[in-house]
Amino acid sequence: MNILAISGSTRAASTNTALLHALARIAPAGVTVTVYHQLASLPIFSADQDAAPPPAVHTFKQMVADADGIVFACPEYVRSIPGGLKNAIDWLVSGDAVIAKPMAILHGSHRGDDMLDALRVVLSTVSSAFSATPFVRFALIGKSPEHVSELLAAPENAAQLRAFLRSFIALANPRTNT
């Protein structure tokens, strides 16, 4: 199983990217979690370029098409989805790769409910297989990626992350018993 984990942050020291790397580290045998954190490389969406997208967009679209499911982790910017993530999603909507793609959200903050609500609306619009569950959040704001890694390795947090991943795998591949 191939899971694409998209970070909604463009920061080099992003807690969301660190959260997704922690998810990748706990993936069981047979499951690959690929972390995508290159939103800044995607040009602003233009329908005029959609038929022949720039190379970074082509690569991104191919990663989405090849994934069995997508997990998002995203910060809240001005009570909403960061522009870079919304732009990436805009690049996907003209194709059929996301229409029935299983999707879920991890969250690296104790706040951000407005962004989560907005992201849930967007994802449920682009994919009939978006699910609000599984979902788990961790209070990671202000932590370095190294500290995030340490926190998520703690037994209680690692157990929550594993439970999230097991539930997502079941969502993405109902025939899998993990």
Q: pLDDT digits over 139-149, tens only? A: 999 999 999 99
Give the pLDDT confidence of 96-146 residue by residue, as tens digits.
999 999 999 999 999 999 999 999 999 999 999 999 999 999 999 999 999
Q: What's the confidence (pLDDT) of residue 175? A: 65
Q: Is the pLDDT of residue 178 over 80?
A: no
Q: Is the pLDDT of residue 161 over 60?
A: yes
The closest of 116, 114, 150 to 136, measured between CA atoms, is: 116
pTM (2 decimals)? 0.95
